Structure 1
Amino acid sequence: MTRTLFAWALALLYAHVAFAQFGFFDQMFGGGGGGGQHHNEPQNVPSDSAWYRGNVEKMHCDKYLCPDTLACVHFAHHCPCPFPSIEDKVELAEGHRLCVSRGGFKDGESARKIELARKGLL
């Protein structure tokens, strides 16, 4: 009885080691076993600007094409912010605009802080 129990235990141990070994190789080499990369997870976008350049080249704008939103406007400072629900747009006197994260401030607070910084008071 003890010898049979020992043989079964040894067989289970070998099966476990073989499964672990081949499961490891499946993960390392992208096999079909459970593990490795999950193909349903979103992938990071590549570090290549070809997609952006391709979209810019397709745009038709006879005025000013905003580089961050691809909006066509009359002047650069008319460009909308990419994330207007969380950014305040501040138009500068030089004909430029800034998009500043609200960061939990009340409405208009970002513009006030930028104006104070421009005056050297902040």
Structure 2
Amino acid sequence: MKYTFGLVLMLVGLASAQFQFFEQFFQQGGQQGQGQQEKQNTKSDSSWFQQNWEAAHCSNYLCPDTLACVHFPHHCPCPFPQVEDKVELGEGIAVCASKGGFKAGETARKIELARKGLI
């Protein structure tokens, strides 16, 4: 009889611990899901960018697209180098453009053709 009562208590304890585990597991999952739902779109004004611009310190040239500090404006990096190529047009002017194809230099070639009015 003693053993039966002890066995019942042990099984009740295990069941309780198991339910606590699942309760915590699902509550955390629910909290993560709620956190994802609470995210909101970025404001449609430029206040965030202006705050970061004003907070940035640069003794040379502060790039307007990336807030990188460089010596000359044409040294600014492209904001998305994975999908953009930087092309220098001469006289310290550079532009970032979507990559033009599978071959290296394709973007620069297309920009030059456009400058000549050929495309």
TM-score scaled to structure 2, two decimals?
A: 0.65
Aligned residue-pair number? 85
State the match for 1:101 in structure 2.
98
CA distance in 1, matches of 2:101, 2:110: 13
State the match for 1:113 in structure 2.
110
CA distance in 2, matches of 1:83, 1:94: 23
CA distance in 2, matches of 1:103, 1:76: 23
State the match for 1:44 in structure 2.
41
Q: Which runs of 5+ in 1 are unaligned?
A: 1-37
* 8 Å contact from structure 2 (residues 101, 107) kept in 1: no
Q: Alignment identity in percent?
A: 67
* 8 Å contact from structure 2 (residues 68, 76) kept in 1: yes
TM-score scaled to structure 1, two decimals?
A: 0.63
Q: Which runs of 5+ in 2 are unaligned?
A: 1-33
> 1:103 Cα shift?
4.8
Most deviating of 98-107 and 56-65: 98-107
| Residue 46 (structure 2) pairs with residue 87 (structure 1) | no
